[in-house]
Structure 1
């Protein structure tokens, strides 16, 4: 897991966790990244819209059945690049790369 998370350490400022099984190793992830963490309230899906949207976008590249340990760093970096190259309505049709 360290080999996946370590390359993105400098760009991750915070993580919002929900109760999904994809976050069972959250302590390990946070210890590697050293970032701020937040927890979404259970059963308050209306308060986690951005979190749910991000999870849905990532699911296009990483199915729930895949174990985090089976995902290669190059796959994560490729998914990040593709997601940050998509234009977003909330950014005035700019991509995250253009906006930030």
Structure 2
């Protein structure tokens, strides 16, 4: 099974699209990703102040 991890650029796109009011399915379509990828990203990397791309990238790097 082949997959690629989200890039920092994609994380900033997710943040922008969330702020624009798009839902997870619409964000997934925009990024050509599976909706479950977006869902997992938001669950794993959401902090006390919501989803923040820089923080999400740091958390991902730490787990890696």
Q: TM-score, normalised by structure 1?
A: 0.26
| Greater length-normalized contact order (CA 8 Å, ≥ 6 residues apart) | 2
Between Structure 1 and Structure 2, which shows a larger proportion of helix residues?
A: 2
